[in-house]
Structure 1
Amino acid sequence: MDTSVILPEECISHIISFTSPGDACRSAVVTPLFKSAAYSDAVWERFLPSDYQQIISSSVSSSVSSTLTSLSKKDLYFHLCHNPILINNGTLSFSLEKGSGKKCYMVGARALNVVWGDTAIYWIWPSIPESRFSEVAELNFVWWLDVRGRIDAKNLSPNTTYAAYLVYKFSKPNHGFETRPVELSVQLEGSGAAERRRVFLDPPENMPQLYRARGDGWMEIAMGEFFNEHGDDGTVLSSLFDFHQFTTRRGLIVEGIEFRPKMVNR
């Protein structure tokens, strides 16, 4: 029996809104009526985060905010999947995970706690065209590497396992990262001991390559993961750390630390 003969478009839209973005797109090929129902604002409003309007209104660009609010809800959804917007005075970026509509954030370098970051002989803050942020952190010379990021769990999607990723690259010349690992950690505040891992950011060819090229000119490496159960569980803390009084490092460029749902291919 053809349900489109029995059910009005509004009912079909309501049913589709309880599925997923992928299911909505697939249902659009069934009939013209299903296409109209599946692409309706009523469906895609359900796939967007409940606070999406507040997030968009906090964009650092009023023209971007105005453009986004004029889009259909479906176009807005996919725009946010592919085009992160800058918020929080340009130190934080927001986007959506395409398959689920869950929130992704990158904490830009200027919002990270970089030890000795205000001392030019150790760190500089250039602007480079491949970064979404106005400044990145570039390492000149240190023995003690300590970079920390934090984000409130309430900003992330609840009931979701997230992973944190260090987003970085190297200038030339660089030194120290191929001979000694760094320590990466992630911890949901109050959840017990932090998950820690020792990895090479620039491993020799005979070692496993744990980093991944992102396709946007940067590399990323997983720092750890956590389960954001209720979305009101305090603060997520992440860190990049190493100290060795006889080993210096230089040439690391940090764009930020990204928090996104685990096992997402980009």
Structure 2
Amino acid sequence: MLSGELADNQGSLSSSAKNYYEQGKLDELVFGGIKEQIMPQSLSTFADIAYKCLHQDRHQRPTAGEVVTQLQEAQEFQWLPRDYKEIIQQSRTPEIYKTQKKMDLYDMLREGILIQKGKVWFSLDNNNKRNEMISATLFTYQNQSSQKWRNNRKSRFQRVSLMMDISNLMIQAKIKAQFLTPSVTYGVYLVFKFVEPTKISSKPKYVNLKYKMGNETLHAYFATWRKDKWMMIELYRFLSNKDGVDFEVLLESFSKCYCGNGRIYVEGIEFRAIDNVTHEEIEKSKDAQQIMRSNSNIDLMQQFPADKDEILGVTENSDEAPKPSEMNGKKHHMLSAKEVLYDSSNVKLFKLKPSEQSRFGEVIEVLSQQVFRIKCKIESQILSPDTDYRCYLIFKLSEKCRGLHCPVKVRSVHRPVKVEGQLHQSRKETKDLYFRTPKEWNIHDINQVPKQREDGWMEVNVWKFNSKDQLRNDFIHLNLKLISYEGTMSGLIVCGLEFRPM
């Protein structure tokens, strides 16, 4: 096309494209599936150079170098947001979009710029999704005696809010994000940091932020560290639309127990796009919050080992025995609450109750305490050898339960074990679980959330292990502490502990 004879026969595609271009209707030739993704400037730049390439006189056609330059510019336009001029016009240097190269503008937006008189930080993430952070200077502070303004060189904004009393924040935010990417799931995050030096960790920090949205009191339990050494905690999650989003929240307090009397800097509230991987996790978490069929309700007889009666301890209620899903020949077992709750006969800590709904005929209610233990042992031949198992606590919540809306720590307390004659110190692990289904923004990496079973009970995965581990004297030992983060727990009604192969 650049140097040869132009194939421009009547009815050819090139002739049709020229006609559409001359009539200003070239966009009608763009496939509908990609039209929304194409920047208008990118299409017009591409169309202009393509039209010149169709000139009858080859001497009037652009050189290869000119074509490459224009195609590069069209591609650079494609990287930029459609409304990049409007966004940059709200910055402190709106004239730069006329002088800067498009690639430089794109890099600048990736780094982030201040807009709206320095009150909003706008940036593009790695997937070209738009993020906005609203400065804390736009919030209202009801507890003004404990709030001061400070300059912070490590902040995106000129000033941040210093909160002297984190147990009585009373920060009101009524804000609007205007430039978010439509049809994208966003998380709303409070961005803050402790004034006193805090050890940075890859693990989330429990802070228990209490806040209100409308008439609903909510809790966000875990904060995480960012690469910029600020912390963030998610408050809400939503699917964006083309009209922007109004957000209103009253931040009340952090946990004094875990955050002490420390002061914090509040930088702002960020609307951050959640990437595809995390979005899949969101969908999984939504599924987890729905009533789900437990694996223990599918007929097991086709796949169960020959010694099933001995393993299950078949009784008059044998037709109510646990019936997990396809086991592929792997053994399955369940213990009663009396067998698994440590010191279960202590009437100050536990209450034994008859129950027709339990396959064991009785259940145990956990009375007010901060820590209770699961401690039991199983004969090794009852479980399949060298098999990964999950332990599910089967439970219900009484109407008067207390302290079970928060996450609960689960900590292993196993003694050293011998492996091939050598004594090995068991690794002490701590995980978190929920007895109530949490808001999706409180799940993080926690996959130990409760599920509804068809038999009317709830179940939650409290631990996993391999049947060759914790093996002493032909017994597999399980020793766990369940610890409330704050206050005491009560009203947990335990049916038993179920061991299912993974």
Give the TM-score normalised by the residue count of structure 1. 0.65
The change in CA–CA distance for 1:46 and 1:111 in structure 2 (over 3 A counts) is same
Tell me, yes or no, if the aligned pair for 1:185 and 1:196 is still in contact at 8 Å.
Answer: yes
Match of 1:87 among 115, 118, 121: 115
Partner of 2:72: 39
Partner of 2:141: 114
**Aligned pairs (5 A) from 1:39-188:** 39-40=72-73, 42-59=74-91, 61-62=92-93, 65-82=94-111, 84-100=112-128, 102-116=129-143, 118-119=144-145, 122-141=146-165, 143-152=167-176, 154-172=178-196, 181-184=208-211
- Separation in 2, partners of 1:47, 1:245: 46
**Residue 173 of structure 1: CA displacement?**
7.7
- Separation in 2, partners of 1:221, 1:69: 38
Q: 2:228 matched to 1:199?
A: no
- Separation in 2, partners of 1:153, 1:92: 9
Amino acid at match of 1:57: Q
Give structure 2 stretches of 5+ with no counterpart.
1-6, 8-13, 15-25, 40-64, 199-204, 278-502
Work out the number of aligned pairs and report it. Answer: 222
Q: Deviations over 1:143-193 (max 9, x none)?
A: 42222334335432221211111111101289xxx8962225678xxxxx8
- Separation in 2, partners of 1:251, 1:76: 38
**Residue 66 of structure 1: CA displacement?**
3.1
Partner of 2:314: none
Amino acid at match of 2:181: S
Tell me, yes or no, if the aligned pair for 1:123 and 1:140 is still in contact at 8 Å.
Answer: yes
The change in CA–CA distance for 1:154 and 1:34 in structure 2 (over 3 A counts) is same
Q: 2:231 matched to 1:219?
A: yes
Tell me, yes or no, if the aligned pair for 2:166 and 2:256 is still in contact at 8 Å.
Answer: no
**Paired residue secondary structure (2:170):** strand
Match of 1:263 among 275, 282, 289: 275
- Separation in 2, partners of 1:99, 1:245: 38
**Paired residue secondary structure (2:96):** helix
- Separation in 1, partners of 2:197, 2:103: 45
The change in CA–CA distance for 1:96 and 1:69 in structure 2 (over 3 A counts) is farther
**Residue 107 of structure 1: CA displacement?**
0.6
**Paired residue secondary structure (2:195):** strand
The change in CA–CA distance for 1:134 and 1:154 in structure 2 (over 3 A counts) is closer
- Separation in 1, partners of 2:134, 2:239: 19
The change in CA–CA distance for 1:130 and 1:243 in structure 2 (over 3 A counts) is closer
The change in CA–CA distance for 1:139 and 1:154 in structure 2 (over 3 A counts) is closer
Q: Deviations over 1:190-230 (max 9, x none)?
A: xxx869333155xxxxxxxxx1x222231222222111134
Amino acid at match of 1:39: Q
- Separation in 2, partners of 1:196, 1:183: 6
Q: 2:272 matched to 1:240?
A: no
Tell me, yes or no, if the aligned pair for 1:161 and 1:227 is still in contact at 8 Å.
Answer: yes
Q: Which has the higher contact order (CA 8 A, sep 6+)?
A: 1
Amino acid at match of 2:80: L
- Separation in 1, partners of 2:126, 2:151: 29
**Residue 72 of structure 1: CA displacement?**
2.4
Partner of 1:204: none
- Separation in 2, partners of 1:264, 1:135: 33
The change in CA–CA distance for 1:106 and 1:243 in structure 2 (over 3 A counts) is closer
- Separation in 1, partners of 2:173, 2:276: 21
Q: Deviations over 1:92-145 (max 9, x none)?
A: 111122313x321101110122322x43xx011110110111111111136422
- Percentage of matched positions with identical amino acids: 27
